[in-house]
Amino acid sequence: MSGITTIEEARLRAAAEWWLRLREPEVSEATLLQWIAWSAREENLAAFERVGTLADDVRQLDDGSRGLLRRTVADQPASTGASARSAARKGGHRWLPLALAAGFAAAAAGGYLAWTYLTATVTRDYASTVAQRQDVRLPDGTKVALGGASRIQAHFDSGLRKVELSEGEAFFQIAPDETPFEVRVGQLHIRDVGTSFDVRRGGDRVMVEVAEGRVLVTAPGAGGVQEASAGQRIVYVPGVGLKVAQADPTRTAAWREQRLEFDNEPLDVVVASLNRYSRRPVRIADASLASLAFTGTIRTDAIDRWLEALPQVLPLRVEMRPSEVVLSSREVTARQ
């Protein structure tokens, strides 16, 4: 092999060195500072990412490809030590001793990770059905009001009180504790700082409204950090990010008093909320209606009345069928 011929290859070597260095068990303060300085150069970081991608690919290779590479290497001239060994065995399985040694290495790694303690974990599921509201108390004393057709999983251990909202809406009144409390909605993380707050999930869109205290919300990607305090709401839309807006604290989690409050929200989000309370499912037949904005209050005990009046507010047609309610666009009606 020729020596380093280009700046690019020198850069790749530095990147490869970093890849090895960052996989060491310990990372010193000096290493961290050097990494920050080195990776600040765009070309360096890009080289590192490329080396890392290849290295990860190689380490995750399937058995067939591994075999192919082993055979490729077996056809090449070997270094002196290995060739003496392989000559004795008539070539071919030069990698066998190392492959066997791999078993011992794995055992050693197990020892390194043999921690003497186990963390105690508590996991619980809670769910409500359509039009049902449910109050639950989590193992730490936190009170949760579950909206209709909503589901949470609490997963507590010594480091974190974690609750996953997989469907619907919930209002949290967090019990004070040293262990941090976090609500997760997909990739969105909501960290409480002594608080009560409401979280609503409508498809990929998430709304967090704070009644008391503060919450910190983080979304994946750059710039995905926001904070909200009492009287504020954060709306997360995938691809757009986090947005903070003022909210009316008297209307936060009004669903607990049978009112659904919407402030300039798309119709599909409104319908998703509605369907958690309506015994007859509501369906949007024309995709063009989904983005119509709605502001107002819906009483969960008078959903049908609201639906009947909806054509006065939005340009659409409502069809009350025995098993469902269909919202369609008005143009279709005009043509019929």
Partner 1 sequence: MDTVSSQSNGAGARTSEHVARLEELCRTHHRALLAFLQCRLQSPSDAQEVAQEAYVRMLTLERPENVDDLRAYLFRTASNLAMDRLRQRGIHARAVDEVAIREAQTAPPPERRAMAVERLQGLRQALGELPPKTREAFMAHMIEGLDFRAVANAMRLSERMVRYHVTRALAHCRARVDQLEEG
Site for partner 1 in 188-247 (CB under 8 A): 189, 191, 193, 216, 218-227
Among residues 43, 84, 87, 109, the one that binds partner 1 under rule CB under 8 A: 109
Nearest-approach distance from CB 296 to partner 1, in angstroms: 32
Among residues 133, 151, 155, 251, the one that binds partner 1 under rule CB under 8 A: 155
Q: Does 118 contact partner 1 by CB under 8 A? A: yes
> CA-to-CA distance for 313 and 267, rounded, in angstroms?
12
| Of 214 and 280, CB closest to partner 1 | 214
Nearest-approach distance from CB 67 to partner 1, in angstroms: 10
Q: Does 257 contact partner 1 by CB under 8 A? A: no
Secondary structure element (H or E) that encloses residue 52, with its range: helix 42-59
Among residues 91, 93, 123, 203, the one that binds partner 1 under rule CB under 8 A: 123
Amino acid at 190: I
Of 100-108, 136-144, 278-286, 317-325, the window that binds partner 1 (rule: CB under 8 A) is 100-108
Among residues 84, 91, 92, 99, the one that binds partner 1 under rule CB under 8 A: 99
| Of 13 and 137, CB closest to partner 1 | 13
Q: Does 125 contact partner 1 by CB under 8 A? A: no
Q: Does 81 contact partner 1 by CB under 8 A? A: yes
Q: Does 62 contact partner 1 by CB under 8 A? A: yes
Q: Does 65 contact partner 1 by CB under 8 A? A: yes
Among residues 43, 58, 264, 311, the one that binds partner 1 under rule CB under 8 A: 58
> CA-to-CA distance for 285 and 325, rounded, in angstroms?
10
Residue 133 contacts residue 258 (beta carbons within 8 Å): no
> CA-to-CA distance for 224 and 226, rounded, in angstroms?
7
Q: Does 77 contact partner 1 by CB under 8 A? A: yes
Amino acid at 180: P
Nearest-approach distance from CB 154 to partner 1, in angstroms: 12
Pairing mode, strands 241-246 and 232-237: antiparallel
> CA-to-CA distance for 95 and 79, rounded, in angstroms?
13
Q: Does 84 contact partner 1 by CB under 8 A? A: no
Residue 285 contacts residue 326 (beta carbons within 8 Å): yes
Secondary structure element (H or E) that encloses residue 264, with its range: strand 259-266
Nearest-approach distance from CB 163 to partner 1, in angstroms: 14
> CA-to-CA distance for 208 and 236, rounded, in angstroms?
8
- The C-alpha angle with vertex 186 and arms to 182 and 190, in degrees rounded to 5, equals 25
Give the dihedral sign, CA 246/163/257/137: negative
